Structure 1
Amino acid sequence: MFDRLPRLTCAVLLKQADRNLSGWLAWHLALGIEHIAIMDSGAFDDARQIVQSLRQDWPLSWHPVEAEPNQTPEEHRLEMTRQAISHLHHVTQAMPQEVVDEENGETTPVDDWVIILDADEYLAPSRELTSLLYQAKDETTAFALHWRIYGDAGLLTPPPGHVVANHTWHAPPVFADHRFVRLIARLDCLPAPAKLADPHMLGLSPEQILRPNGRPFIPGDESLHPELWEGGCIQHYICALAHNEEELPPPMRAYYNRNEQMTAPQTRNLQTMRQLANQLRESALRAGLSRLQKLVEPQLEEAQLKHQEDETDLAIRSHVQHDTFHYDRIRSSVRSDLLLNPQFSTRYETGQTVLLRFPEGRLLEGDPPNHHEPLIGFRLESTPHLLTLYGQDRSPFTLGDAPCPFGMASLSITPSTQQQFVHLPHETGHGSTPLEIIPTNAVPAFLYTPLPPIDEPDGLSVHGLLTWLAGHPDLQPYDLARALLLLSPASAQHLHNLAPILAEFLPSQPKPDFLP
């Protein structure tokens, strides 16, 4: 329908706290989806905090769905789908119903489409969404996109980085479950939520459904294998994102863990997603910093109480008068006590700027290299494992799936067996290549806040982090990203519970001993 402008909104059905929620949101917002509703039936705390932290800057909403006792999985799916459609109706009604062309002032009515996905399903059109939806005829009610089921790619534990980049091996087109489809449906063609009886085909007739290549949708058509994913598909990461055996029992994992065929993700889609992911991370860091600053207040109250207790325990009179001398006791303040705390009053130290060089001689740049300028690294002698990369012109960049908000990437690096060589984290895309450290006299592009000293055998405690925040009320979000990498494993887990929005910036858990 060329006389109407297609607009796609989406609902994602969550079953439990999903460690990939931020990456899922980044992928689908980068596609051009104009609103995402998170239908939450079990991850209330984490998902709610993440969405509420991001919704100020991004078109997101959170809707809890209380599961009725004794519901079967099919009944629960139907109820969540009904509520998702109802919620998307309310969302789209609050959005503009016409789009105004700023050049000529003409208005174009909006044609609302919706898709309902699980958190392990990723919409993957072969071209822009508007191009796909513009194929719709007047009588078209939906587009049917087939599953493409991905295995675990032989990875024993989920590696850092985006699931689309890490998992490229999938089952061949003839795999039976690839007949299953998800619909991009025209919203005004769907039945009333209370009357919906089928959560998969949404009560729509197959005769009015098209495939993403514009051809008619024929359920069960065995002749479609060569063109099954022509125009787009639903990439289903059932093995990569299953949390435990309860969610995906071993027999089901054995059935779905198929890795016979590889399809590399489109570079354009990955790059667009990574750029938007960094913008999401900026919102997340700002929200996380605000959240932690609120936790500082009880930390200061605790310090005040301890100070008062210490004052009471000191059996020293406030005034003493003798024949030869007298004194008045000067009582210290909480702030003066805190100034003696190394976390509260961190000291500046000289830093070093470096370049990173590959064995073949080229210098590390962002990807794809836009200006052919090398990234500059900044590190301190006290924390040589922590490296912050940035461009000299402070422009945004991406480095694989590593977080690069505010035009910088703070990374935990690993020394190589060769002196003056290091390995970057896996998610940068360069983890397997040793990079040589080349000292440079470049001036740091940012004035960094000094980092807090560690106060636990294996890292920084949450208490130390909050004390540091109390002493630096004007802290920048990118400085918080650097400090989070100092947390001990136990403190990182504790902070994840306090502020789930910061999960992506916490240090990765160490690999099991049996992994290389």
Structure 2
Amino acid sequence: MVPSSVAIALFVKNEFSDIAGWIAWHLGLGVKTLFIFDDHSTDGTWEIIQAAAKSFNIRAFQTDPVAEPDFYWRQRNCFMQAAEMAKGHYAWLGFLDGDEYVYFRHANSLPEFLERFPHADGLALSWRIQGSSGRVVRPRKMTVEAFTQHSTPELGDNVLVKSFVRPECMGDTYHNPHWFDVPAERYVRPNGQYVPSANAVQEIDWEDAFVLHYICRSMEHYIQRIKRRLNADLSDSLGYWDHFDRNDVEDFEPLRFIPKIRPIQVSINRNMVARAIEDLRKQYPPTVAISDYEGEILESRVFSIHSAYFETQLCVDAITGDVCHASLAVMSERSLLPVYGAVFADTPDLITFFVRDGVHVEHNRALKVFGDDRVFSELTYQIAKTIQDKPEGTALRTTLSGEYLCFILPHDGIGQVEANRRQAKDWEEASLRPEFNVTYSWQRMTAPLPTSGKMTFDSLITWLRNEKDAPSIYLFLKMIALLSPSDREKLHRHVPGLLWGFI
């Protein structure tokens, strides 16, 4: 057993929009293994967990509601099972729900933080209840990024704690999901002091570490939660929302971990898309007679992307993954990597952003544009040929919301790029300049695209069925970028949750 090794047990149900981010967050903090118990989700949560487990150390299980109908006891059984599996393998085991995220203020990883407690067998972290940040609709971005406002200690519910324990030192008695069977004289708070009593209610302590508890999130999240727990512990009213939706203080400090999280998000997102393709091809098996179309390597025209107004180039911060723009001199000085755009003859109105390392495309490089909640290594945008007062001008817009990319006024030589403009004017005008020494291509295809150049759900399925082998995830994402909103909704119903970030 590695002295600082950490595992977390998660009991979760129907968290399709947030589970990938929850996994990425805790893996990014240095957790070695996640024991995830899915309580028979129906929204794609289980499939997302399985997709993430393709690349990361996740041990995934499903509960048996028939054998144990009571929710409370199912959770108990799962947590106690995780404790048994963790014994002899992990120094610490945490117990969390899907709306709870660990955060520590004065360490760079969770193992590093837990090394401060050699004198303890249990650690009790206070809740810090986060508000909705005024959001009504479920956001596509990760929970920690979306909900940055929180309550004050005056909200009494923050006295509840969640625990990390040493598995070998945990007894056989199950108290509750907050407090576990470890002697109080060996249970400590984040400041290292022992707890005054063996109780899930402790004095609020946010000085060093706590659990970000997203009880409300968006109003859309809240409505789903009410439906799921109606007449159990919640009622059909706004009382619960009004009590917990506290947005008294804004805190961006937890976002310091985002650069560690994004590469993990990219990997999980890639697995989710691959799982979606796999599931669609199971639902609609390839036709017996494969098309006679022989296919070809689809080569693209590659462009560097510039602001026509500022005469700067689109680039990316190699550490954070944030897309920005700067002059060539600043790019060289600040180690900013150029972002290129690939345009294919069969889809001339789409451009795919990518970064390369030498001659190879960096498929693990996170690209993140402010205002565009997708986090991926390749991002597809629509090319708009007309902008205000410049009929021949070029602008780029998102395939999800239709908003334009804007090159913001540079500060200290670097300008942010935002995807949030409803109209295209001077700051939105882009210049695409050919790059003849940079290449980008898709895998060989066996089936042609619809001759109309348009993609519907039916033609997407026909295309998938006529493919002898599964298409690359990058080609598939380009195809779904052509779908209408109604066809994207139909696609979401066929592969719930798996394409949430892209449709």
TM-score, reference length from structure 1? 0.74
Q: Which moved more, 1:80-89 or 1:380-389?
A: 380-389
Equivalent position amino acid for 2:126 in 1: H
Instruction: Please state whether the residue corresponding to 2:449 is helix, strand or coil.
Output: coil
Richer in helix (by share): 1
C-alpha separation in 2, matches of 1:414 and 1:29: 39
- Secondary structure (helix, strand or coil) at the match of 1:439 reads strand
2:307 aligned with 1:357, yes or no? yes
Alignment correspondent of 1:62: 60
Q: Which amino acid aligns with 2:275?
A: A
Q: Tell me the SS of whatever aligns to 1:373.
A: strand
Gaps of 5+ in 2: 229-233, 322-333, 406-416, 422-426
* Corresponding residue for residue 471 of structure 2: 475
Q: Which residue of the other structure, out of 219, 222, 231, is the alignment partner of 1:242?
A: 222
Over 3 Å counting, the alpha-carbon distance change for 1:421 and 1:131 in structure 2 is same
Q: Which amino acid aligns with 1:374?
A: P
- Determine which of 274, 297, 300 is the counterpart of 2:287: 300
Maintained 8 Å contact 1:346/1:453: no
The more displaced of 129-138 and 441-450 is 441-450
Residue 502 to residue 445, structure 1, CA distance change in 2 (3 Å): farther
CA contact (8 A) 1:114 1:184 kept: yes
Bigger mean CA offset, 75-84 vs 353-362? 353-362
- Judged with a 3 Å threshold, the aligned counterparts in structure 2 of structure 1 residues 150 and 361 are, in CA distance, closer, same or farther, namely farther
Correspondence for 1:107: none
Greater shift in the superposed pair: 442-451 or 206-215: 442-451
Q: Give the equivalent residue in structure 2 for 1:7.
A: 5
The aligned counterpart of 2:270 is 282
What is the deviation of 1:12?
1.6
Structure-2 residue corresponding to 1:435: 428
- In structure 2, give the amino acid aligned to 1:30: G
> Would the alpha carbon gap of residues 374 and 50 (structure 1) be closer, same or farther in structure 2, given more than 3 Å must change?
same
Contact 2:40 2:46 in 1 (8 A): no
Correspondence for 2:81: 86
Indicate whether 1:486 and 2:482 are aligned: yes
Kindly provide the amino acid, as one letter, of the partner of residue 130 in structure 2: Y
Structure 1 residues 414 and 161: CA distance shift in structure 2, 3 A: farther
Give 3-state SS (helix, strand or coil) of 2:84's partner: helix
Residue 212 (structure 1) aligned with residue 190 (structure 2): yes
Q: Within the alignment, does 1:115 sit opposite 2:94 as a pair?
A: yes
Which of residues 411, 414, 422 in structure 1 aligns to 2:396?
Answer: 422
Task: Look up the match of 1:103.
Answer: none
Residue in structure 2 matching 1:366, options 305, 310, 316: 316
Secondary structure in structure 2 of the residue aligned to 1:6: coil
Residues 1:448 and 2:447 aligned together: no
Task: Summarize the alignment of residues 216-235 of structure 1 with structure 2, pairs less than 5 Å apart.
Answer: 216-218=194-196, 228-235=205-212
After superposition, where does 1:124-203 map in structure 2 within 5 Å? 124-126=103-105, 127=107, 128-138=109-119, 140-192=120-172, 195-203=173-181
Q: Secondary structure at the match of 2:93?
A: strand
Q: Once the 2 structures are TM-superposed, how far is the Cα of residue 389 of structure 1 from its aligned partner? A: 0.5
Percentage identity across paired residues of the two chains = 19
SS in 1 for 2:338: coil
In structure 1, stretches of 5+ residues that fail to align are 98-109, 302-333, 508-516
TM-score in terms of structure 2 length:
0.75
Amino acid at match of 1:375: V
Q: Pick closer, same or farther for the CA change 1:243–1:218 going to 2, 3 Å.
A: farther
1:261 deviates by 0.1
Query: Is the contact made by 1:148 and 1:235 (CA closer than 8 Å) also made in structure 2?
Result: yes
- One-letter identity of the residue aligned with 1:79: R
> In the alignment, is the contact (CA less than 8 A) between 2:68 and 2:74 conserved in 1?
no
1:141–1:209 CA contact under 8 A, matched in 2: yes
CA distance in structure 2 between the aligned counterparts of 1:452 and 1:177, rounded to whole angstroms: 56
- Aligned runs of 1:41-60 on 2, under 5 Å? 41-43=39-41, 46-60=44-58
Cα distance change on mapping 1:242 and 1:230 into 2, 3 Å = same
- Cα offset for 1:259? 0.8
- Number of aligned pairs? 441
In 2, the alpha carbon distance for the partners of 1:60 and 1:461 equals: 33
Map 1:258-407 onto structure 2 (within 5 A).
258-297=246-285, 299-301=286-288, 334-335=289-290, 338-339=291-292, 351=301, 353-357=303-307, 360-367=310-317, 368=320, 371-380=335-344, 383=347, 386-393=350-357, 394-395=361-362, 396-400=364-368, 402-403=373-374, 405=376, 407=377
Contact 2:178 2:200 in 1 (8 A): no
> Aligned with 1:475: secondary structure?
coil
* Whole-angstrom distance in 2 between the partners of 1:69 and 1:250: 34
Once residues 10 and 465 of structure 1 are traced to their aligned partners in structure 2, the CA distance between those partners, rounded to angstroms, is 39
Larger radius of gyration: 1
CA distance in 1, matches of 2:159, 2:292: 66
Matches of 2:382 and 2:273, distance apart in 1: 18
Q: Cα deviation per residue 1:371-420 (whole Å; 9 max; x = unaligned)?
A: 32321122357756633101243334323375455x42234678895342
Give the structure 2 partner of residue 464 of structure 1.
460
Which amino acid letter does the alignment assign opposite residue 437 of structure 1? A
CA distance in 1, matches of 2:183, 2:60: 30
Q: CA deviation at 1:160?
A: 2.2
